[in-house]
Amino acid sequence: MVKNMAQSLPQIPGVRLSAVPAKIKNWQRDDLLLIEVAEGASVSATFTQNAFCAAPVLVARKHIAAGNIRALLINAGNANAATGERGLADANRCCEGVAQALGIQPTQVLPFSTGVIGEHLPVQRILDAIPAAAARLQSDAWQAAAQAIMTTDTRPKTASRTVEIAGETITIAGIAKGAGMIQPNMATMLAYVATDAAIPQLILDTLVKEAVAASFNRISVDGDTSTNDACVLIASGATGEVIGDVNSEAYAQLKAAIVEVHIALAQAIVKDGEGATKFVTVQVNNAGNSAEALRTAFEIGESPLVKTALYASDPNWGRLVMAIGNAGLENLDTGKISIFLDDVQIVDAGGRADGYTEEAGQAVFDKSEFTITVDLQRGDTCEHIWTCDFSHEYVTINAEYRT
C-alpha cells in the first residue's frame, strides 16, 4: 500500500542536504543547495533536449556517465547557459569546490544551475559558500532545499510517498522547481527525487525515464523548453531489499510510488505556472496511437488562444476545434469528434452538441481546475497532459524577469 506523506518530507537514509546563501543575485535568501549521497548509491538523470543546453548540463552528462556520483550542487539565480568555454570552466570549478569540501573526486559531482541565461556564473561566491554548505549537511533539510532552488516560483514544490514491499517500508521524497519556460521533452524544470530502496544502476536508468515520461513530459505552461532541464533520481540503497527485476511485483510497486511523486511534483509546477489561475487536464481518448493523442493534447494545452480563453473563463469552444485541427492528424474525420468540459458535452459529431448551453460551459470554465476531454474516434489509445492559462501576470513576470 502506498501512503501519501504530503505534510512534511521524510528523511532518506543515505541522503543529506544543505541550503545556504551564496548571494548569486541581490536577494536575501538561500540560493545554493548541496546534496550528498552515500557511497554505493545509484544516481540516474534525464536532461534537457534543448540544443543550446547549459554548461552544467554538459558537465553533469559527462560525470553521470562515469558513475559513482556522490554529490549534487544546485544554484538559483544564474543558468550558466550560453556562456561558452568559460561557462564549462566555471561549472567544473564548482565541482572541484564540492570535491575538496567532501573529500571526493570532481567527477563524482553533478552541477546544476537555474536562472538568467547568458550571464557568467559568480563562481567565487559559490566557492566561498560551499564549505558552509558541506558543514551543515543534514538529512531533514528537504524543505529548505526546495526553497533554495526557486526562481520565479511562488512556493516550494515537494512530494513524498512510502510503500511497503515484502514487509519492508521504502520511502521516496522529492523536490522540484519550475513556473515558466515549461514544455515537455524532458519538461523545463529541476527535480530531485530520492529513495532508500536498493536499485541497480541499469534498472534505475530505466525507472527515471519511465517516471519522467509519465509526469514532467506531460506538462506545459508556455511551450518553451529550457536550456537547463534536469530530473535526478537517487537510490541510496539503505534498505536491504534489492529491486533487481523490472518484471517483479516489487518493481511494479516501487515504480508506482515513484511515479506518483513525479506526477505530484509535475502538477505542482503547472499549478504554480507564472501568473496561472487555472489547472487544466487535457484528456484525448480513442486516438490512433500515443503520438497523435499527445500531439492533439499539447496542441490544445499550448495554444495561446486556448490559454487566454481559460484565463478569461470563456468557454470559446471554437478555439478548441481550431487547436485540434492544427495537430496535423492524417485523414482526420472531424465529423466524429466529441469534446467535453468535465461531464458537459460541448461538441458532438464535429459540431455544437444538442442541448449544450453557454451557462453549462461557463460553469465549468469558472472552476480553477477542470478537464477538457476530446474523443477522436480513431482507435483505442488514450493520453493526457496538464496545462494552465495565460494571464496578464505571466506577461508582467517575464517582461520584468531581469529587473
Q: Hey, how many other C-beta atoms are within 10 angstroms of the C-beta on 106?
A: 18
Residue with cell 548541496: 34
Query: Please, how many CA atoms are within 13 Å of residue 270, restricted to the half-sphere of its CB?
Result: 30
Beta strands 279-287 and 381-388 are: antiparallel
* Measured distance CA(114)–CA(74) in Å, rounded: 8
Judging by beta carbons within 10 Å of its beta carbon (0-12, 13-18, 19+), is residue 149 exposed, middle or buried? buried
DSSP annotation string for 224-237: ---SS-EEEEEE--
Active-site residue, selected from the candidate residues 83, 151, 158, 188 = 188
∠ CA(263), CA(266), CA(267), 5° rounding?
85
* Measured distance CA(350)–CA(374) in Å, rounded: 11
How distant, in Å, are the alpha carbons of 121, 150, 300, 323 from that of 19? 18, 12, 39, 43
* Measured distance CA(215)–CA(205) in Å, rounded: 16
Beta strands 168-177 and 157-165 are: antiparallel
Beta strands 15-20 and 157-165 are: unpaired
Residue with cell 506526477: 263
Q: Hey, how many other C-beta atoms are within 10 angstroms of the C-beta on 345?
A: 19
Handedness of CA 97, 100, 105, 110 (dihedral sign): negative
* Measured distance CA(135)–CA(68) in Å, rounded: 22
How distant, in Å, are the alpha carbons of 24, 143, 154, 203, 272 from that of 146? 17, 5, 12, 27, 14
Q: Is 48 a catalytic residue?
A: no
Q: All 3 cell numbers of residue 47?
A: 536532461
The torsion region of residue 275 among left (phi > 0), alpha (psi -120 to 50) and beta comes to left
CB 301 within 8 A of CB 284: no
* Active site members: 188
